[in-house]
Chain A
Amino acid sequence: MDFTIAGILMLDGVTNGAIYALLGLAIVLVFAITRVIFIPQGEFVAYGALTLAMLQIGVVPGTVWLLLVLALLAALLDALKALRRRITASRVGIGAIKTLAWPALVMLLSLWAAPRQLPLIAQSLLTLAIVTPLGPLVYRLAYEKLADASVLVLLIVSVGVHFALTGLGLVFFGAEGFRNPSFWDARFAAGALSVSGQTLIIFMVSVALMLSLFLFFEHTLRGKALRATAVNRLGARLMGISTSGAGRLSFGLAAFIGALSGLLIGPTTTMFYDTGFLIGLKGFVAAIFGGLASYPAAAVGALFVGLLESFGSFWASAFKEVIVFTVIIPVLLWRSFQHGQVDEEE
């Protein structure tokens, strides 16, 4: 191995690592706030990339209908709850409109936009508008009632949600894969290395997103409320912070990050309906590095996973996944020695 090869491998590893970092951050975020180990994180990556692919070929993506159906279910549940509590019809109506307005708007927009072959950027924004609201709805329907259940129960629900979303992905997008067009076709040569525009976009967007997350948590009221919920749910509630609202917001952020990651890697690989799962799992390995609590450690872990994967495929491609996932074991050992015995439900 000479310097050029190492350079190319490192570039490849860091590019993938940037995506794993985004997903790792989302997984840490969701876990800190809701204690949900969010296995379906990867599904949002596939949904993002494939929704854009559907728009590219001029078809209304199935995710639009999923959004609408989930919103209807949520509205129905809200109405039933209101009925039991004898809340007036007008307030129920307003609540339902609030839940349904955005999905309906997105549906109309997609119906209008799908056959029109809008520019790539417009289609990407529409994709984010379709996939992001799926997050809060998934939380509302699958997790909210169980918010106080044990981590194990929430994990089992996550497995169920993962299977449901993967199956729906097969229905919506079919068994064949798609590759999206590049956002930026330029290529830059730096010595023997050649960097594609898409790679630069991946770096820039990842860094920008991490920075804005940092600013959001440090400098906005909502961000601080999320952090408070993460530190102490009961205390936060006593301070008037809605924990279910915090849960929905964190799932919304997770879905947004997932869809964005999907848009970013869509042009560099072929996406299938089930590709997201493995990508999400690698994000999860990265999150483990941070003990599901530390954002910087998760980001560093993600870069490590990306590099390990890249060099692992070079030396022993048949054992690549084995190498990546086996790394969890020493990391878990190290973390448990470092922190000693901790009860699962503190």
Chain B
Amino acid sequence: MPAFRPLLAAIAALIASAAQADINIGISLPLTGPASGLGIPMKNYIALWPQSIAGEKLNVIVLDDATDPTNGVKNAKRFVSEDKVDIIMGSAATPVAIAMADVAAESGTVQLAFSPAQLPPGKDYWTFRLPQSNAVMAHAMVEHMKSHGVKSVGFLGYTDAYGEGWLKDFSAVADKAGIKVIAAERFARSDTSVTAQALKLATANPDAMLIVASGSGAAMPEKAVVERGYKGKIYQTHAAATRDLMRIGGKDVEGTYVVSGPAVIAEQLPDSHPSKKLAIDFVQKYEKAYGAGSRNQFAGHAYDTVIVLEKVLPVALKKAKPGTKEFRAALRDAIENMGRTVFSHGVMNWTKEDHWGFTNETGVMLKVVNADWKVE
């Protein structure tokens, strides 16, 4: 069958060129290990992604990094050397995302990080983050404090990077608004008692107390503060905006103010919030596929990723062909110059100086009322 040969070759060439034009996306997520609770919902939403954007087929590769930086780096290296991806995404675990950033920078590939990865200045040339920075959230909180006449704040936070990051960012924002942090105490998630810290803070008697902890760890310090007879306002960060706060805190956390991203409280958002429409769209799409009440912050980041791709891929495609170095550089420039874009998680505006990008329109204050969230 010698006649077939050229035909086969032609078909093969055609397939190859088609494959060339595909946009390859490499995503590393913690599907197992301690942060699997963040990675699995993201993978769920990625399964709902469109097949193609801007007329180009999306070729999505999802690998598990097991919440381990070493695996994350291995995945990222595979993405750039074997799969020749145009974009690296992930991870949802902060230490893994930080480790992956090096590979992205070395290979000149854009990294969309799904976690608030703190990188030294200049190191994030190729990295853009999708979650909100602490400073953006602190802004919403400080605005609320200002309007409620809070002048002094006591800080009770984790001894880790999350607690320290909040203390730094919050103090900076609060200072400008004339609010003073008059006492700062630390604790660890595994502590059996925070009575001593709560006692010291209650003695200082600030107008408000800021508790920086995550998930189910956020209830214990608040209970301790209330137990010491503290009667002022209590604020919690967006890492505490889960139902675990009420599950463990019970009636002690009634009246707590919690700052949150808008996606998970879609229906309750005031009509004036720019993200309302997209947040509702995200929640409906996700819960249609995975059941009522299954919404969560990280699936929202996967939703926002599609918004980014829809906006930047057409721009980059005009400049270069996928799979080339020029295309990757064009993508990076397109993301940096994307301009004000509404996400389900807030309003994004990445610039040359700021690869965090969320604007101060983003954060929403919630109040715990009858063991449920109420938008302030």
**Known contacts A5-B199, A177-B217; is A268 also within 8 Å of B192 by CB?**
yes
Closest-CB distance, B351 to chain A (whole angstroms): 35
**Known contacts A177-B216, A270-B217, A313-B194; is A321 also within 8 Å of B188 by CB?**
yes
Inter-chain contact B203/A5, CB cutoff 8 Å: yes
* Other-chain contact of A279, B192, B199, B217, B220 (Cβ < 8 Å): B192
Q: Which of A8-16, A73-81, A127-135, A286-294 contacts B (4 or more CB under 8 A)?
A: A8-16
Measured between alpha carbons, how far is A176 from B191 in the docked complex, in Å?
15
B361 at the interface (CB under 8 A from A): no
Point out the residues of chain B lying under 8 angstroms from A312, CB to CB: 196
A264-281 CB mask vs B (1 if < 8 Å, else 0) is 010011101011011100
Measured between alpha carbons, how far is A179 from B222 in the docked complex, in Å?
13
* Other-chain contact of B34, A16, A19, A175, A177 (Cβ < 8 Å): A175
Interface size on A, residues (CB 8 A): 33
A325 at the interface (CB under 8 A from B): no
* Other-chain contact of B196, A178, A275, A310 (Cβ < 8 Å): A310
Most A CB atoms within 10 A — which of B189, B196, B216, B244?
B196
* Other-chain contact of B199, A8, A274, A277, A321 (Cβ < 8 Å): A8
Measured between alpha carbons, how far is A261 from B199 in the docked complex, in Å?
25
Inter-chain contact B197/A317, CB cutoff 8 Å: yes
Nearest B residue (CB) for A276: B190
Point out the residues of chain A lying under 8 angstroms from B34, CB to CB: 170, 175
Residues facing B in A130-187 (CB within 8 A) are: 170, 175-179
Inter-chain contact A12/B193, CB cutoff 8 Å: yes
Inter-chain contact A317/B189, CB cutoff 8 Å: no
Inter-chain contact A311/B196, CB cutoff 8 Å: yes
A189 at the interface (CB under 8 A from B): no
Inter-chain contact A314/B200, CB cutoff 8 Å: yes
B162 at the interface (CB under 8 A from A): no
Point out the residues of chain B lying under 8 angstroms from A317, CB to CB: 159, 185-187, 196-197, 200
Measured between alpha carbons, how far is A209 from B153 in the docked complex, in Å?
44
Point out the residues of chain B lying under 8 angstroms from A272, CB to CB: 189-190, 216-217
Inter-chain contact A177/B199, CB cutoff 8 Å: no
* Other-chain contact of A269, B193, B197, B203 (Cβ < 8 Å): B193
Inter-chain contact B219/A268, CB cutoff 8 Å: no
Point out the residues of chain A lying under 8 angstroms from B185, CB to CB: 313, 317
Closest-CB distance, A177 to chain B (whole angstroms): 4
B248 at the interface (CB under 8 A from A): yes
A221 at the interface (CB under 8 A from B): no
Interface of A is mostly: helix
B37 at the interface (CB under 8 A from A): yes
* Other-chain contact of A179, B191, B197, B220 (Cβ < 8 Å): B220
A190 at the interface (CB under 8 A from B): no
**Known contacts A170-B34, A176-B215, A177-B216; is A8 also within 8 Å of B195 by CB?**
yes
Measured between alpha carbons, how far is A318 from B167 in the docked complex, in Å?
13
A39-76 CB mask vs B (1 if < 8 Å, else 0) is 00000000000000000000000000000000000000
Nearest B residue (CB) for A279: B192
Measured between alpha carbons, how far is A309 from B197 in the docked complex, in Å?
11
Measured between alpha carbons, how far is A178 from B216 in the docked complex, in Å?
7
Residues facing A in B51-94 (CB within 8 A) are: none
Point out the residues of chain A lying under 8 angstroms from B220, CB to CB: 179, 269-270
Measured between alpha carbons, how far is A170 from B36 in the docked complex, in Å?
11
Inter-chain contact B199/A265, CB cutoff 8 Å: no
Measured between alpha carbons, how far is A312 from B186 in the docked complex, in Å?
11
Closest-CB distance, A224 to chain B (whole angstroms): 35
Closest-CB distance, A138 to chain B (whole angstroms): 22
Point out the residues of chain B lying under 8 angstroms from A176, CB to CB: 215-216, 244
**Known contacts A176-B244, A269-B220, A279-B192; is A318 also within 8 Å of B159 by CB?**
yes
**Known contacts A175-B37, A177-B217; is A265 also within 8 Å of B196 by CB?**
no
Measured between alpha carbons, how far is A321 from B159 in the docked complex, in Å?
11
Point out the residues of chain A lying under 8 angstroms from B196, CB to CB: 9, 12, 310-314, 317
Inter-chain contact B217/A269, CB cutoff 8 Å: no
Point out the residues of chain B lying under 8 angstroms from A265, CB to CB: 192
Measured between alpha carbons, how far is A270 from B193 in the docked complex, in Å?
9
Measured between alpha carbons, how far is A231 from B116 in the docked complex, in Å?
56
Closest-CB distance, B137 to chain A (whole angstroms): 22
Closest-CB distance, B70 to chain A (whole angstroms): 17
**Known contacts A177-B217, A270-B217, A278-B190; is A314 also within 8 Å of B248 by CB?**
no
Closest-CB distance, B104 to chain A (whole angstroms): 28
Point out the residues of chain A lying under 8 angstroms from B200, CB to CB: 314, 317
Measured between alpha carbons, how far is A279 from B190 in the docked complex, in Å?
8
Measured between alpha carbons, how far is A36 from B190 in the docked complex, in Å?
25
Inter-chain contact B193/A274, CB cutoff 8 Å: no
Point out the residues of chain B lying under 8 angstroms from A8, CB to CB: 195, 199
**Could you give 10 example pairs across A and B, Cβ below 8 Å?**
A8-B199, A175-B37, A177-B189, A177-B244, A179-B219, A310-B196, A313-B185, A314-B197, A317-B196, A318-B186
Q: 7 smallest A-B Cβ distances: which pairs?
A: A313-B196, A177-B216, A314-B196, A12-B195, A270-B220, A318-B186, A317-B185
A12-B193, A177-B244 given; name 16 further pairs at CB < 8 Å: A5-B199, A16-B192, A16-B193, A19-B192, A177-B248, A179-B248, A265-B192, A268-B192, A278-B190, A310-B193, A313-B197, A317-B185, A317-B187, A320-B186, A320-B187, A320-B191
- Residues of B at the A interface (CB closer than 8 Å) are 34, 37, 159, 185-197, 199-200, 203, 215-217, 219-220, 244, 248
